[in-house]
Amino acid sequence: LKLGIMASGNGSNFEVVAQAIQDGQLNAQIQVLIYNNPSAKAAVRAANRGVEAVLLNHRNYKNREEFDEQIVQTLQKYDVEWVIMAGWMRLVTEVLIDAFPNKIINIHPSLLPSFKGVHAVEQALASGVKITGCTAHIACLEVDSGPILMQAAVPVLADDTPETLHARIQIQEHRILPQAIALAAYSSKTAFDKA
């Protein structure tokens, strides 16, 4: 599997995918990391692992479509088959979705369809749910929507802050994301082409 990873921030999910490949648990290569934030730690992680990293700053583009067009060109240039949005904090357009139909995987810190969007952890806390979690899914145009690949449940504890809850969720993200990539890649011919 030739993977392209898109990340905006810390990149711990990038790291676990790279580690799963190194450990022989995921039969894949990371062709390129695309990041949009010049200070994203994900870029440092890529450099440490010898993975090519390309900065595409959304601020340099007129609109989301032009930005996505540049992303698509970059992914194609690096011969990417599967796109992993590992903490990609930009809304995507049909330009990206249509270029990789059913081949974009997103990881999100809630049990979708609950708590879509960028404040999922805070919203779970505020709502009073006792269980939340994370979801790996095929990305569609609508944010945090699309066929679910894997989920993991995480308890919400009485003294949780957004930070402690997010840390507990991330342990599960790191477990399911590499598995979800393998699941999607090896079942795509049957299940997701119809989605």
Tokens found for residue 150: 């894997």
Q: Which residue of this chain has its Cβ atom nearest to ligand GRF in the complex?
A: 87
Q: Which of 176, 181, 174 is nearest to 15 (CA)?
A: 174
Cβ 181 vs Cβ 96: under 8 Å: no
| Omega cis (within 30) before 155 | no
Residue recorded with tokens 């970059």: 74
Residue from 3, 5, 13, 124 that binds ligand GRF (CB under 6 A)? 13
What string marks each residue from 49 to 88 as x (binds ligand GRF by CB under 6 A) or -? -------------------------------------xx-
Residue closer to ligand GRF by CB (options 103, 108) is: 108
Task: Report, in Å, the least distance between residue 10 CB and ligand GRF.
Answer: 4
Tell me: does residue 181 bind ligand GRF (CB under 6 A). Answer: no
- Cα distances (Å, whole numbers) of residue 5 to 28, 36, 45, 105, 191: 12, 12, 12, 10, 23
Contact predicate 1/162, CB 8 Å: no
Choosing from 10, 19, 123, 151, the residue that interacts with ligand GRF (CB under 6 A) is 10
What is the C-alpha R_g of the chain?
A: 16
Nearest-approach distance from CB 92 to ligand GRF, in angstroms: 12
173 binds ligand GRF (CB under 6 A): yes
Site string for ligand GRF, 99-118 (x = CB under 6 A): --------xxx---------
* Per-residue DSSP letter, 155: E
Q: Does 136 bind ligand GRF (CB under 6 A)?
A: no
Annotated binding residues, written as ranges, equal: 11-13, 64, 89-92, 106
